[in-house]
Amino acid sequence: KMAEKQEEPSNAQNGEPDNAEEGEEKKKKKLKREDLPPFEIVTGERLPAIFFKFQFRNVEYSSGRNKTFLCYVLETQGRESVTSRGYLEDEHAAAHAEMAFFNTILPKCESSLRYNVTWYVSSSPCVTCADRITETLKKNKNLRLTIMVGRLFMWEEPEMQAALKKMKSAGCKLRIMKPQDFEYVWQNFVEQEEGEEAKAFVPWEDIQENFQYYEEKLLEIL
């Protein structure tokens, strides 16, 4: 896929004057359009069903699942409550979706408002992201965060376990997604085919066992 992208002719080859600044602008636009890393923020849109079915599967061996999909519901309580939702995805090579959420969706918490945030994430955060979550929650007492995860990431590692414990003590609620949570994501965040009746969520065969497996692990850790 990358190779195809690189073969596209540049402006200069198209016979257009390639004035550097204009070229930069175009490059930026082009990058945006092609959704290259570090991460993409998609608000008000839904993620393709094929991504959901692959990335959110709560399997034990997550080979090839090296992206994080983070669907969020952000409720801001001020004079009036405002709820927004969207999803972020990342390529693990660059900034992670969890960081992107704090840097872009919630860059500054206003102390006069309260924020209730729920994330539905394909897997639990890495150590660096977990530490960032802990710091953010300690700094912003008006932020409540619940993270619903499909899988636990590297949960056998002692430093990962320690990071998850710190998140909990900073007030983060960490939960494993139940079949109903996957269904909620399916209904609220996944593209339904145009013009078709919304397809019902079809749970995969081991969804309940895998949920129980991860829930036990999480209980042991926390």
| Nearest residue to 151 (alpha-carbon basis) of 59, 76, 34, 47 | 59
Q: What is the C-alpha separation between 196 and 199, in angstroms, rounded?
A: 8
159 classed as catalytic: no
Q: What is the C-alpha separation between 1 and 212, in angstroms, rounded?
A: 38
Strand partners, 47: 190
CB crowding 130-148: b at 16 or more within 10 Å, else e: bbbbbebbeebeebbbebb
Catalytic one among 34, 40, 98, 156? 98
Q: What is the C-alpha separation between 2 and 104, in angstroms, rounded?
A: 27
CB crowding 43-72: b at 16 or more within 10 Å, else e: eeebbeeebbebbbbbeeebeebebbbbbb
Catalytically active residues are 98
